[in-house]
Chain A
């Protein structure tokens, strides 16, 4: 447990407090749009934390995380699409009826992303280093082109989601409900990630980052451990994808585009990789920079691009490390 009297504890406590009261503060300030942006940040934070599990803790530089994000989104989009049309999705042994129920959509989104993560991971983890970066990128791009050329789900134009997922209680059309659902899922995912990272399993994964040959010599089946981590990470991204599909009320191949994967990586690095809360700070920083810069100029990328180069060249510890002091890593 972290003491509230350290700098780290103070940062955590204040952040949590702000997050808990944010919708009310936004309401009081007469700017409910803040709640919508904040939800977006929380959703991207889930995806960024999931990427950090393999990138920061496992040392697996996956450049294809956008693919799993997109699969989660498409799972919601496709189920809703069929529910609206009243048709069923043919699936190997039988068929799955379309539905808008969140309790079915979200787990399916997570499972679909996990299944694809298992497949892509099984192939990609045969390689290492720069090959791994390129091959994860190539597989993600393969899925991107696959969705573009698949006319059944509107190809390049994507799917409009005519109805947000139906929760057992509450209504996702209510921005405050949406916000607290996103916050709840982020906190739950963070708790899960913390348990994973500190478990024996997590130790093996972190050991692989530091010295994989040694882990192998110690007798650990390194490939299987890494594959399990890769799959869990893909599932987290799938969850975030399901949320963002609801948030945008749209899914398209753009969710899988490689720039999305790049953005997720930037969030992790910007916030501080190898920490659990770093990616959350990174997601908030990047999305807020985008939001603010785009109000001044449509060419905001011209500022973001060089900024990114400078951050990589000169700032190594990320926003989170700067907030809590040192480099933010545990231990």
Chain B
């Protein structure tokens, strides 16, 4: 019984970790190459979720919805990059934080105007709504397995993109020797826009897949954004590998904390106090993890480039 619970929670943690990786990969690529800290990354996730919900409802097909959500997030990202963010690449981080803060406020308010202030809910598509026995006698929601599968495919694809393609080569070169890449005649501006677009589409994909599991509401982007920051701090800014390790670590620790800490507390304290203390502590476990990593390695586990 406990083993089953443990397995279930591990898969839940993996699933959360995968979602966080999709977010963190884009954020860390953008930071690694353009040295831009983009708070509005969460807004792209929100755009992905909203557009997916609307498109799925209009077309009746989840796959079309996801495609629309990913494309919309990519388009929104590229638009913001062209209009505002590209002017910020050379600026200091404070300016970037403030400007992208302004972008968030704009996106949130636009979303409220277009979709109204109430949360949207989205059903899990029929083909994925059942459960699958991961082990004999251990059913697990098919949709969460689907997320894990898609996420792993994206990991493999992203690795292929970065290691084996010309774009990936430019991304790696741009991250370490930005000026040199420009001097060799590569159109850096276009490269930046591409990278930003890829990051935006990954965020949109995360939002699209999160849609059926969460209330789709204004502000959903910020809560995942801050988790993503924790992932990146733990993993090391600019490192895609660090983002993967950090995301899985945060996903698993957060899920275990929420599942098991109240149980552990119950064996020490009386039930009412245990639930209250357990809930408060489990909501901060990942921040404690972050603090511990920082004490041990102030630049993250896989520090890639200068912070």
Contacts and interface: CB of A to CB of B under 8 A. Distances in A.
Contacts of A16: none
Nearest to A300: B109
Given A301-B109, A306-B102, A133 B93 contact: yes
Nearest to A148: B283
A18 interface: no
B61 interface: no
A130 B307 contact: yes
A29 interface: no
Interface stretch (B46-54, B192-200, B290-298): B290-298
Contact of A309 (B103, B108, B307): B103
A302 B226 contact: no
B189 to A, nearest CB: 17
A289 B299 CA distance: 39
A131 B284 contact: no
Contacts of A302: 106, 109-110, 113
A313 B87 contact: yes
Interface stretch (B125-133, B139-147, B227-235): B227-235
B226 A137 contact: yes
A159 to B, nearest CB: 16
Contact of A299 (B109, B226, B280, B299): B109
A305 B299 contact: no
A129 B232 CA distance: 14
B237 interface: yes
Interface in B263-306: 276, 279-280, 282-284, 287, 290-291, 294-295, 298-300
A146 B103 contact: no
B24 to A, nearest CB: 12
Contacts of B93: 61, 129-130, 133
B99 interface: yes
A258 B93 CA distance: 17
Contacts of A133: 37, 93, 97
A258 B283 CA distance: 16
B222 interface: yes
B307 A129 contact: yes
Given A258-B222, A312-B98, A299 B113 contact: yes
Given A130-B31, A135-B294, A149 B98 contact: no
Contact of B98 (A299, A301, A308): A308
Given A138-B290, A150-B276, A313-B99, A258 B84 contact: no
Size bracket of the B interface: 35 or more
A97 interface: no
A23 B189 CA distance: 55
B112 interface: yes
A138 B230 contact: yes
A145 B98 contact: no
Contact of B287 (A61, A142, A299, A313): A142
A312 B99 contact: yes
B64 interface: no
Interface in B49-86: 84
Nearest to A304: B105
A126 interface: yes
Contacts of B206: none
A127 B104 CA distance: 26
Nearest to A307: B102
B102 A309 contact: yes
A61 B284 contact: no
B95 interface: yes
A306 B283 CA distance: 34
Contact of B229 (A127, A138, A150, A269): A138
Interface of B: 31, 37, 84, 87-88, 93-95, 97-99, 101-110, 112-113, 222, 226, 229-230, 232-233, 237, 276, 279-280, 282-284, 287, 290-291, 294-295, 298-300, 307
Given A127-B294, A305-B107, 4 more contacts: A126-B295, A127-B233, A141-B226, A149-B279
5 contacts: A126-B294, A305-B104, A308-B98, A312-B95, A313-B99
Nearest 9 CB-CB pairings of A with B: A308-B102, A305-B106, A305-B105, A142-B287, A301-B109, A309-B102, A312-B99, A302-B109, A134-B229
